[in-house]
Amino acid sequence: MPFYISLLQSALSTCIGAIAPLILILLVIGIATAVFQSAFQIEDATFALLLKNLATILLILFAGAAMLAQFEVLAASWISHAPLSIARSWH
């Protein structure tokens, strides 16, 4: 496998691993809000937006450090392997 593909794979897997819990929780909140709004015929768009924004803020406050730690590990890995990356063939 070419070197640039392995770099891309590690970056994408880190992004997916860090962001997937946030997206899944917001997806569940969005679906639950939609079901609640349709069941009670609430047409207020701010109701759904408020819950999603509140969930996003809480998730970033409580899990943001863990997400950032994953990106920090990726950056440290790339920086530590930079000399090898320069000397290595990219093909």
Residue 27 identity (one-letter amino acid): L
Q: What would the 3-class secondary structure string for 40-91 be?
A: CCCCCHHHHHHHHHHHHHHHHHHHHHHHHHHHHHHHHHHHHCHHHHHHCCCC
Residue 3 inside a domain? The answer is: no
Say what percent of the chain tops pLDDT 90. 68
Number of domains in the chain: 1
Query: For position 19, what pLDDT does the model report?
Result: 94
In this structure, is residue 26 part of a structural domain?
A: yes
Q: Is residue 8 part of a domain?
A: no
- If you ran DSSP here, which 8-state letter would residue 17 be given? H
Summary mean pLDDT of the chain: 90
Instruction: Give CA angle at 18 (70, 14), nearest 5°.
Output: 60
Model confidence over 9-43: pLDDT tens digits? 999 999 999 999 999 999 999 999 999 999 999 88
Task: Tell me the per-residue pLDDT of 44-58, one tens digit each, with 9 for 90 and over.
Answer: 888 889 999 999 999
Q: Given this model, what pLDDT does residue 46 score? A: 87
What average pLDDT score do residues 71-86 get? 88
Query: What is the model's pLDDT at position 56?
Result: 93
